[in-house]
Structures are given as structure tokens and as C-alpha cells.
Structure 1
Amino acid sequence: SGIVTNLMGMNVQDGDAYIFINKSLTGLKILHAEYGGLVIYNMKLERGAFKLPDIDTDDPATSKGIKWADLMMIVQGISPSEVHRCSRWEPKKK
């Protein structure tokens, strides 16, 4: 939560999930607030590596938002950038 608060300038209790992936792309941690406290999910791959969505390396942002469906694909070993998505209605973002 210190990284989220101090380095990212975000509030860990705002309802978002914060995803941290190690440099070798073999470990993933998800931090989010639940009723009563913070929860950390930890996944360490025995074989292979996580495939992340394409990221602009020139972007100076300290974080990048992704959809929950993309996170589920990453965890399941599916490359989000190689998936063909059918057209669907999405609510307007605030």
C-alpha cells in the first residue's frame, strides 16, 4: 500500500485493484481493499511468463489501467493483445 500511496499518489481504499508484476514476468500480486482490510493475491508461475498488453515505452505514466477481463486473461495465460474482441456496448466512463 506504501507504493500505491507514496509513489503512485493514489488511495488504496478507492476500490481499484493494483497489480504488480516482477521484472521477469513470473510473479504477480494484486492488492485491493475488501470489507475490513486490504487483500493481497499472489501468483508465482512454475513455468512460462505472464504476457502483458502492449505498453508504450515512451509513456512516462507510473501506472496503466486495464480491464478486469484483460487481467483474467493474463492470469490464465492468454495474450490480451492477440485476442479478437467482438463489438459490445460499454458504459460511458466518468
Structure 2
Amino acid sequence: MIHLTAETQILLAVKPADFRCGFDGFAALWRNQLKQEPRNGTLFVFTNRRRTMLRALCYDGSGFWLMSKRLSKGRFQDWPRHHQDGVTSLAAKQLKSLLTGQSGWQRL
């Protein structure tokens, strides 16, 4: 089970990801390209090139969760375009706003 609290570490990948890869592909992306450890309990969030879908990867201690959300219309708003590390951190409240497709979620 995934528990999102104010203390949950959430990292957002700035560059779009290839959504054809599965658990191992997303874990390898975090480990090899973004230099992050995918099994540390952090929730890792990706978008596709068109920003119409999100995927979130999390390790809960016994296995990986891979969650997807596709908007029925529109795009995820205000996705960060540049960051020196390729990732940016989010608060759980920001993630909730992002998942609803709201703009301005970064200012929360």
C-alpha cells in the first residue's frame, strides 16, 4: 500500500519518459540516468512527451508499484521544463493538485 504524507519524498522527472517500458525500465531510468535509488521509498513521477499521461513508480518494501493516469482531455499543466539534476521535488499536496490537471500546482 502507498501512503502519501507530508513527509513522503516525491520526485518528478523533468524530461518525458518512454511509457513502453515497465517496472524494470523505469527503475533503470532512475538508477542510471537520474542517479537515484528506486528502492528507497521515494515516489518517482514521470510524464509522456505530450503530457497527457503520468506514471508513478514506488517501492513499498516488498515490491514495486507502477501507477498510471491518463487525462480524458487536456494536458498536465506547468510541468517543469528544466532542472540541473533532471528531477524536481514535490510535496504531496502539489502532487494531488497535479493529478487533477490543475495549473498553478507548483505554487502550493
Q: Normalising TM by the smaller chain, what interval?
A: 0.7 to 0.9
Q: Distance in 1 between matches of 2:30 and 2:44?
A: 8
Could you tell me which amino acid in structure 1 is paired with residue 90 of structure 2? I
Q: For the structure 1 residues 65 and 36, does the alpha-carbon distance in structure 2 shift closer, same or farther, using more than 3 Å as the test?
A: same
Structure 2: runs of 5+ lacking an equivalent: 1-26
Q: Distance in 2 between matches of 1:48 and 1:67?
A: 23
Q: Distance in 2 between matches of 1:75 and 1:64?
A: 16
> Paired residue for 1:60, among 62, 84, 99?
84
Q: Distance in 1 between matches of 2:70 and 2:101?
A: 13
Cα displacement (A) at 1:56: 6.3
The higher radius of gyration belongs to 1
SS of 2:73's equivalent?
Answer: coil
TM-score normalized by the length of structure 1 = 0.75
1:1-94 counterparts in 2 under 5 A?
1-52=27-78, 55=80, 57=82, 59-79=83-103, 80-81=105-106
Cα displacement (A) at 1:23: 1.5
TM-score normalized by the length of structure 2 = 0.66
Could you tell me which amino acid in structure 2 is paired with residue 34 of structure 1? D
Contact 2:34-2:85 within 8 A present in 1 as well: no
Structure 1: runs of 5+ lacking an equivalent: 86-94
If asked which structure has higher relative contact order (CA below 8 Å, sep 6+), I would say 2
| Runs of 4+ with deviation above 3 angstroms | none
Identity, % of aligned positions: 17
Could you tell me which amino acid in structure 1 is paired with residue 85 of structure 2? A
| Equivalent pairs, count | 81
Map of 2:22 onto structure 1: none
Deviations, residues 26-84 of structure 1 (Å, cap 9, x unaligned): 0100000113100000111221111135x363x43211111111111011122214x6x
Could you tell me which amino acid in structure 2 is paired with residue 13 of structure 1? R
